Amino acid sequence: MSIFFYFGRYLLFLRSMFTQPEKLSVYVERLFAEMVAIGIGSLPIVILISIFQGAVTTVQTAYQLVTPMIPKTTIGIIVSDSTILELAPTITSLVLAGKVGSHIASEIGTMRINEEIDALEVMGINSAAFLGLPKILAGIVMIPILVIISIFLSELGGILAGHLSGVLTADQYIQGARSSFQLFNLQFSLIKAFTFGFIITSVSCFHGYFTQGGALEVGESSTKAVVYSSIMILVSDYLLAQLFLKV
């Protein structure tokens, strides 16, 4: 079936969540559980990739800027700006699409084939809202927080790598990073993180929710969740850049 069919279904799925919750307190409880699962659960991988990402970018930027005419602080400028604008929000989100997205899709997909979603429905519960809303809200809150952590650790990784490889000192790095820092870049980064958080959770809920068949199809939904949220992250990354960054 066509892409329009799926996109329409995706929008209807999102719309169906906007109803009066059966019981607010249960939704809030689930929201906190999801925030812990997404936030704390993803922390180790975010720490790992951020430090290495900052370190590698620093070493490679230094390698590209070989002429002595360019001051060392330029490396700090380039690494810091690209971390804030692109690397931290996008790379982190792509990795989280793999980790969080596949988990959400397989969790909801398993509930679907096990008739747990039907059981929720027959109880008179809006299953789309009950399963989806807490995850989506947790995603748009926690993923920006993870991105802030990622920015911080990437810079740290950059400083560390500069120091260890003797390319530039911590002072030079920080001086460069501060000289080019703009608050707007950070805001833009968070707008991206917010959008990507929404994409990862909503697309994965969608693919899990409409799983049909058995265990094999749950695996397929999980793969689709990762693939489609990654594609949507990249496309919206480009669109947001077009929209917000006036040269």
Near another protein in 89-148, by CB under 8 A: 110-111, 114-116, 118-119, 121-126
Name the minimum Å distance from CB 214 to another protein.
Answer: 12
Contact 131, 111 (CB under 8 A): yes
| CA pair distance 111, 215, nearest whole angstrom | 11
Binder among 16, 74, 82, 169 for another protein (CB under 8 A):
16
Q: Which stretch binds another protein (CB under 8 A): 18-26, 79-87, 98-106, 167-175?
A: 18-26
Binder among 8, 15, 19, 165 for another protein (CB under 8 A):
19
Type of residue found at 146: L
The residue (of 11 and 26) whose beta carbon lies closer to another protein is 26
What 8-state DSSP symbol labels residue 245? Answer: -
The residue (of 42 and 126) whose beta carbon lies closer to another protein is 126
Name the minimum Å distance from CB 25 to another protein.
Answer: 9
Binder among 7, 12, 15, 23 for another protein (CB under 8 A):
23
Candidates 176, 36, 152; CA nearest to 88 is 152
Name the minimum Å distance from CB 203 to another protein.
Answer: 22
| CA pair distance 70, 74, nearest whole angstrom | 7
Question: What is the C-alpha R_g of the chain?
Answer: 21
Q: Transcribe 35-87 into DSSP letters.
A: HIIIIIHHHHHHHHHHHHHHHHHHHHHHHH---TTS-THHHHHHHHHHIIIII
Contact status: 22 vs another protein (CB under 8 A)? yes
| CA pair distance 110, 127, nearest whole angstrom | 14
Name the minimum Å distance from CB 15 to another protein.
Answer: 11
Residues touching another protein: how many (CB under 8 A)?
18
Give every CB contact of residue 38 below 8 A, 6+ residues apart in sequence.
100, 135, 138, 139, 142, 143, 201
Contact status: 81 vs another protein (CB under 8 A)? no
Name the minimum Å distance from CB 32 to another protein.
Answer: 15
Q: How many Cβ atoms are within 10 Å of 155's Cβ, its own excluded? A: 23
Contact status: 11 vs another protein (CB under 8 A)? no
The residue (of 111 and 137) whose beta carbon lies closer to another protein is 111
| CA pair distance 74, 240, nearest whole angstrom | 26
Contact status: 15 vs another protein (CB under 8 A)? no
The residues of the shown chain that bind another protein, judged by CB under 8 A, are: 16, 19, 22-23, 26, 110-111, 114-116, 118-119, 121-126
